[in-house]
Chains A and B, each alone.
Chain A
Amino acid sequence: MIFGNRKTLISAAAVATAIAAWTIVGSLGLTTSLFLPPPQEILTTTRELLRDGYRQVPLWGHILVSLARALVAFAAAALTGVPIGLLMGMFPAFHAVLDPFVQFLRPLPKLALIPLVIVWFGIGELSKFLLIYLATFLTVVVSAAAAVLSVKEGRIRAALALGVSPYKLFRYVIFPSVMPDLFTGVRVAIGIGWTTLIAAEMIAANSGLGWMVINASSYLRTDIVMLGILLLGATGYALDLLLVTVQRLAVPWMGKD
């Protein structure tokens, strides 16, 4: 943390250098806009899309649509995944029942599920929601279960020796103990969920950042593809920063005990 400022400075310099190199390569005409549109062209594209939108939808509309899809799925995944994961961590039998399904589904590329999701749930928002939800949910479940198992035995013993009942042990000792890991788990899960956005928006979408990237690529619009990638990355990064801030406020003891 002492080097926090210096680290930020180095990071900023690295990003600036990358953009500068990109600009130089672009302005020397070393590549065509088909392969690597220079930043100037991305800026032009951004202006055009801000003015006219992309495919009848304003640019912020694409961002909002994707964010809405993702945030609804994230919230649902956290609300259902945390309790299920905690229960799995608390009760080995419950863990044994669910674990094979979770471990089977989790590493599965979510693209592979698209045909099934369409057959079962159609091509509406439900299917898009489910793909993002599933990816996020499974990661949350696994990390919540692991968090319970990693609570220090000594801390539980200390509480038991103070005479807490099983319910109070969970409510007042295990739950607060797993909070830091839960936050980390949800952060990782949201990162994974955000990457599933592209897969989700391959299902009959007319808007959204993921859809924008896929559609633009069909027409070799590398500039829009890159703009979409930049927006996807920036939005994902912003989401993570937001969570880190919440985490710092909610579990200030994280990493300090």
Chain B
Amino acid sequence: MANLGPPPKIELRHVSKSFQDLKRGRETVAVEKFSLAVQDGEFLCLLGPSGCGKSTILNLVAGFEHPTKGEVLLDGEPILRPGPDRGVVFQEPMLFPWLTVLDNITFGPRMNGGRPEAYLSAAARYITLMGLSGFERHRPYELSGGMKQRVAIARAWITDPKVLLLDEPFGALDAQTRLMMQELLVRVWEQARTTVVFVTHDVEEAIFLADRVCLMTARPGQLKEDLRIPFDRPRNYEDLVPDKRYVELKRQVFHSIREETIKFMSQDAGAGPA
């Protein structure tokens, strides 16, 4: 293969991943022959029905899991293990409850021998960006769900990763908080321009956040559609909602995802209770 220009930031080549399903006593194929390239600075949303393997793809990129077949590359190099060049945010904040907000945010640099003057000023910046000012000395259990997730995002971002991986980070939040968090995330991202892979099953969230939405099929997960999102940044919901292109795009994605959900549900029913 001829190498024209720099390789994509993230590349998955014919990746398959299967698991031993102990409950059903057989092998489950989560992802099959999945290929995807994410360009530098791109905000990509992986959208799909639940159980389509989108979290598996994120875990492969994070290095938590290894592909059964195929390759997962970062800057053209195979991914072997998790590392600070890929920040991860989970659905649960997964904060360290014994640490303050500030110590949670600076955890990565502190563990990797960062210089205090450097990480403390970076932390101060993220605390302001994330609206956490005044809560530096609080413990996670003293914060609301949305605030906890903002700490988690700051903690992942402060290491200045090449890629930020978010796995349904707002899935556990209430609808209003979710909207606020989406706008906040985009605002910060517009400054940082980190390559982002954002997994979600929320169609509006995907369209609002992403440059590009990759729609996945039901299990085993494959790429069904690859859509460019045409809206200019900075975006906000008030402008988008009346936009005809937005309405049409939403309709189209809803239709696609509905097909896959129906497929998934009948597939699941056929296999018996999970």
Contacts and interface: CB of A to CB of B under 8 A. Distances in A.
Check A-B contact in the complex, CB < 8 A: yes
B83 A161 contact: yes
Given A154-B92, A253-B141, A257-B140, A161 B98 contact: no
A65 B46 CA distance: 67
A200 B169 CA distance: 55
A157 B90 contact: yes
B88 A158 contact: yes
A161 B62 contact: yes
Interface centre among A161, A252, A256 (most CB of B within 10 A): A161
B82 A253 contact: no
Given A161-B156, A163-B108, A168-B111, A253 B86 contact: no
B155 A252 contact: no
Nearest to A251: B98
Contacts of A168: 111
A158 B84 contact: no
A18 B161 CA distance: 65
A252 to B, nearest CB: 7
B88 A161 contact: yes
Interface string B138-170: 011100000000001001100100000000000
A87 interface: no
A162 B98 contact: no
A179 B96 CA distance: 12
Contact of A257 (B62, B81, B83, B141): B141
B73 to A, nearest CB: 18
Interface centre among B64, B94, B140 (most CB of A within 10 A): B94
A169 to B, nearest CB: 9
Interface string B75-97: 00000011110111010101111
B107 interface: yes
B3 interface: no
B112 interface: yes
Contact of B82 (A161, A179, A251): A161
Contacts of B141: 253, 256-257
B153 to A, nearest CB: 12
Interface residues of B, number: 28
B108 to A, nearest CB: 4
B82 A172 contact: no
A179 B98 contact: yes
Contacts of A164: 111-112
Interface in A158-217: 158-165, 168, 172-173, 176-177, 179
B62 A157 contact: yes
Contacts of A152: 94
Interface in A23-77: none
Interface residues of A, number: 23
A163 B111 contact: yes
A155 interface: yes
A157 B97 contact: no
Contact of A157 (B82, B107, B112): B82
B94 A154 contact: yes
A159 B90 CA distance: 12
A157 B156 CA distance: 12
A158 B94 contact: yes
Contacts of B140: 253, 257
B87 A161 contact: yes
A256 B139 CA distance: 10
Contact of A154 (B83, B90, B111): B90
A162 B107 contact: yes
A16 to B, nearest CB: 37
Contacts of A154: 90, 92, 94
A251 B141 CA distance: 12
B97 A161 contact: no
B64 A162 contact: no
A173 B96 contact: yes
11 contacts: A152-B94, A154-B92, A157-B64, A157-B90, A158-B88, A161-B83, A163-B84, A163-B159, A253-B140, A253-B141, A257-B140
Given A157-B94, A162-B87, 11 more contacts: A157-B62, A158-B88, A160-B82, A162-B108, A163-B111, A164-B111, A164-B112, A172-B111, A176-B98, A257-B97, A257-B140
Interface of A: 152, 154-155, 157-165, 168, 172-173, 176-177, 179, 251-253, 256-257
Which 7 residue pairs spanning A and B have beta carbons closest together?
A: A163-B84, A162-B108, A256-B141, A253-B97, A257-B97, A161-B88, A160-B82
